[in-house]
Amino acid sequence: MKPKIGILGYGVIGKRLADAVILQDDMELVGVAGRSASFSLRDANLKGYKVFITDQPKPEDASQRLCTIDGTFEDLLINCDVLLDCTPKGIPNQYLDLYNSQKDLITIVQGGEKHNFGGTSFNSFANYNDSFGKKKIRVISCSSTGSTRFVYTLDKYFGLDHAFISLVRRGSDLIKSGSGLFNCLKPVLGQSHHAIDVNTVLPDLNLFSMAVQAPTTFSHVLNIQADLKKPVTAQEVIEVFENMPRVIVGEGMHSTAELMEYYMDMGRPRRDRPEIFLWKESVVVKDKTVYASINVHMESITIPETIDCVRAVCGLEENNWKSVYKTDLALNIQKHKECYKK
């Protein structure tokens, strides 16, 4: 029987997850929920999704004027096996008592929440099986997901002694650009949370990260120095990543703007790129040390991870590589099948 999926929050992540869920043949979207005044509910309704509201409506609210309302958030929860909470950080805890009152409900939150929300963080490659049977799970953040894919691959194939990750982070999401930075760079003073976040799914790796927030909305750039356990060549590193799912090895595009333009021209919905992009020209190897730059599209990178998380917690698929392939195929981001036979 297909698990029934509900989504709270129809914003940057929620709308992408709704579209991703309906593409899967082993899960079913029940509906999306949000504040009565939110215009995004109108957009959900126009796409044919059932709409539920989290608060007491007012006659002037967008949902009352422009939507067909199917009930309250509580009505949605009663009909769900899994809730994908896509609200901003801090909001899921406000609903914790409600979630706990639904004893069979599985709640998956995004990386803005702390690891201790449920004590389990998720990544498709690193710790897929750790989520079996859990009721509260967190999918790690966008930059952490990108970092994990990179360091996991190096560790899996070559062995990783230590990695330093330097992030240049976008100032805000595109639709929230009014709250972003202007004419300044804002460093995180000391270690950023990203290496700590990666260690929630890869606890044995020796990692350190620093970050700078920049006045751009496009995406994140991560510069990585990885010290391996044996000497390698740049070509060996490139070939490994060319055969790793959810990684694009590309060249000839030298800015985040060029990347965004390219994937828009290629017809990607919302110009999304759930894969990390590894600049081939950036890969430099000196004996055991790898230097490289990758790009992370923060709005879409955790979407396939969240779909895999649903499969893991519901026991729909025990093998993470099979789930990754199934998700990638549905989202049309699959690589050749040999990449998934790990």
**Position 315 pLDDT exceeds 70:** yes
Q: What is the mean pLDDT of residues 101-125?
A: 95
Q: What is the CATH number of domain 142-296?
A: 3.30.360.10
Of 262, 159, 165, give the one whose Cα is nearest residue 207. Answer: 165
Residue 182's pLDDT is what? 75
Each residue's pLDDT tens digit, 117-145: 999 999 999 999 999 989 999 999 999 99
142 is catalytic: yes
Residue from 67, 80, 86, 142 carrying the catalytic annotation: 142
Q: Give the span between the Cα atoms of 81 and 291, in whole angstroms.
A: 44
Alpha carbon 87 to its chain centroid, in Å, reads 13
pLDDT at 180: 63
Q: Copy the structure tokens of residue 105.
A: 């409900």
Return the CATH superfamily for domain 4-139+302-340.
Answer: NAD(P)-binding Rossmann-like Domain (3.40.50.720)
What confidence score (pLDDT) does residue 172 get?
Answer: 66
In the predicted structure, residue 174 carries a pLDDT above the cut 80: no
Interval 269-296 mean pLDDT? 97
Is pLDDT at 179 greater than 80 in this prediction?
no
d(CA 138, CA 115): 7
Mean pLDDT across 314-320: 96
**pLDDT per position as a tens digit, 40-62:** 999 999 999 999 999 999 999 98
Taking all residues of the chain, what is their mean pLDDT, rounded to a whole number?
A: 95
Q: Where are the domains of the chain?
A: 4-139+302-340, 142-296
pLDDT score of 170: 87
| Per-residue confidence (pLDDT) for residue 173, from 0 to 100 | 61
Structure tokens at 277: 């992009």
Same fold, 4-139+302-340 and 142-296: no
Looking at the chain, the whole-number percentage of residues with pLDDT higher than 90 is: 92
Give dist(CA 131, CA 138) in Å, integer. Answer: 10
